[in-house]
């Protein structure tokens, strides 16, 4: 842990240096700056009233599925689509009120969520009847601001800034995963009101779960079965099979390949995987991070050209970008990092709803042909 106010340089490739500075907000939450420009020292003080920080709720065990559900009633009152002048993710001084970031500008910044799903400080766990189980919703919920520019998007960031975001993800993955009580670290971005974003400013989130979530646990179990049977990594075999087939491959670089999965569930689903066996973001080399910093935004730009309006202009694609990585405390030997990009926009003005089959029993039906999706994305190169 870096003490409050201290700055140190993260190890980077030549020509790209990132300085990491940790400070504290008025209510005691941590804020971490990742600077890649020649900015002044991060010395601004949060001038907002010293209120008590929000606590997390608790998690309840679903005996029918074995999954855990976070009960976070305090999040009902979280900030919802405020006007730009009141954006809590813009630097303080650009709006009419102090924001979550005390400084007048920043490159990339990470801070503890004001309305956490999981946090070190939790509400009392209710007494439950025999046969049921509840625990504190420990862990941590962080917000990652990709840029101080309110009116841009991840896909249009300079390559050097995307690289800084990748370094921030890797830093948080390593630090949070090493903490006691954290079982899994999940970095993700929600983009678009159709997806359910509550703030327009370009940002993502990081959840440090006190348990291994259901989908991650399922994928880990499959990976372990495959490794026990073949001695190989399931993720590596999937990537090799997709590259050998080629019909669903969208783009390939020196270190990364993107493809539409054989059994895609969503109207548009894209996986981005490293060629090397890598368990998590923290394990990526400098060269792998460098290529990812240019490769990934180019894929996002293709998404924004996937659907067009009546004038032929691209329609900004709502999406969820989910980094699947090894659980923090086990399974690293069989897990393999990949990014899953999905959208619920099946056609202009038409959304894919998770209705009776998907929501009721988990029986997915996809109206789109994976090979056709991949062909369309290949055509949108450049």
pLDDT digits (tens, 9 = 90+) for 186-225: 999 999 999 999 999 999 999 999 999 999 999 999 999 9
Question: Which run of H or of E encompasses 161?
Answer: helix 159-177
From-to residues of CATH 3.30.428.10 in the chain: 7-211, 221-281+308-371
CATH 3.30.530.20 is the classification of domain 7-211: no
DSSP state of 314: B
Angstrom distance (rounded) from CA 145 to CA 89? 7
Count of residues in the chain: 382
Which helix (H) or strand (E) segment holds residue 228: the answer is helix 214-230
Q: Give me the phi and psi of 356, to 5 degrees please.
A: -55, -50
Angle among Cα 200, 202, 208 to the nearest 5 degrees reads 105
91 in helix, strand or coil? strand
In this structure, what token pair is assigned to residue 276?
A: 């090397």
Backbone angles phi, psi at 302, to 5 degrees: -65, -40
Encoded tokens for 83: 């006007």
Distance, CA of 190 to CA of 193 (rounded, Å): 9
For residue 29, give the 3-state DSSP assignment.
Answer: coil
Q: What is the DSSP string of 270-284?
A: EEEEESS--SSGGG-
Q: Which parts of the chain register pLDDT below 70? A: 1-5, 11-14, 40
pLDDT of residue 315: 96
Among candidate residues 184, 170, 104, 107, the one with its CA nearest the CA of residue 140: 184
Is 203 part of the annotated catalytic residue set?
yes
The pLDDT assigned to 12 comes to 57
The single residue listed with the structure tokens 């006691």 is 180
Active-site annotation holder among 184, 203, 226, 271: 203
Q: For residue 324, which phi and psi values (nearest 5 degrees)? A: -95, 120
Distance from the first to the final alpha carbon of the chain = 42
C-alpha 281: how far from chain center:
11
DSSP character for 155? Answer: G
Nearest to 254 by CA among 275, 233, 236, 268: 275
> Exposure of 94 by Cβ count < 10 A (0-12 exposed, 13-18 middle, 19+ buried)?
middle
At residue 4, the pLDDT reads: 66
Give me the helices (H) in the chain, please: 159-177, 214-230, 234-245, 286-306, 356-361, 370-379
SS3 6: coil
Q: How many CB atoms lie within 10 A of CB 361?
A: 8
CA 251 to chain centre: 22
Q: What's the mean per-residue pLDDT of the chain? A: 94
The number of CA neighbours under 13 Å toward the Cβ of 335 is 23
Q: What is the pLDDT of residues 16-71, one digit of tens each?
A: 899 999 999 999 999 999 999 987 678 789 999 988 888 999 999 999 999 999 99
Class of domain 221-281+308-371 (CATH, top level): alpha beta
């Amino acid at each position: 842990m870096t003490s409050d106010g201290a700055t140190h340089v993260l190890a980077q490739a030549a020509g790209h240096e990132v300085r990491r500075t940790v400070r504290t907000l008025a209510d005691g939450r941590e804020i971490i700056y990742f600077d890649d420009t020649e900015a002044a020292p991060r010395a601004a003080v949060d001038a907002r009233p010293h209120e008590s920080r929000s606590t997390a709720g608790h998690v309840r065990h679903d005996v029918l599925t074995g999954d855990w559900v976070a009960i976070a009633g305090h999040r009902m009152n979280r900030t919802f689509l405020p006007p730009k002048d009141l954006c809590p993710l813009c630097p303080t001084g650009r709006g009419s009120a102090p924001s979550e970031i005390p400084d007048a500008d920043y490159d990339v910044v990470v801070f503890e969520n004001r309305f956490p799903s999981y946090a070190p400080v939790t509400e009392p766990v209710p007494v439950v009847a025999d046969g049921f189980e509840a625990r504190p919703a420990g862990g941590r919920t962080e917000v990652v601001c990709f840029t101080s520019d309110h009116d841009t998007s991840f896909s249009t960031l300079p390559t050097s800034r995307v690289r800084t975001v990748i370094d921030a993800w890797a830093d948080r993955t390593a630090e949070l995963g090493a903490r006691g009580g954290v079982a899994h670290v999940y970095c993700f971005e929600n983009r678009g009101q159709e997806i359910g974003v509550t703030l327009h400013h370009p940002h993502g989130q990081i959840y440090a779960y006190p348990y291994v979530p259901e989908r991650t646990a399922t994928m880990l179990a499959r990976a372990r079965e495959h490794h026990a049977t073949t001695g190989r990594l399931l993720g590596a075999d999937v990537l090799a099979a997709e590259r050998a087939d080629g019909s669903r491959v969208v783009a390939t670089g020196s270190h990364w390949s993107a493809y539409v999965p054989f059994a895609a569930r969503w109207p548009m689903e894209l996986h981005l995987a490293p060629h090397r066996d890598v368990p998590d973001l923290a394990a990526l080399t400098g060269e792998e991070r460098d290529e990812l910093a240019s490769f990934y935004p180019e894929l996002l730009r293709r998404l924004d050209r996937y659907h067009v309006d009546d004038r032929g202009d691209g329609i900004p694609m709502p999406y969820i970008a989910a980094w699947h990585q090894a659980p923090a405390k086990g399974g690293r030997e069989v897990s393999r990092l990949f990014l899953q990009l999905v959208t619920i926009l099946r056609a202009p003005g038409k959304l894919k709803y998770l209705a009776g089959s998907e929501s009721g029993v988990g029986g997915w039906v996809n109206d789109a042909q994976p090979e056709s999706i991949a062909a369309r994305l290949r055509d949108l190169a450049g």
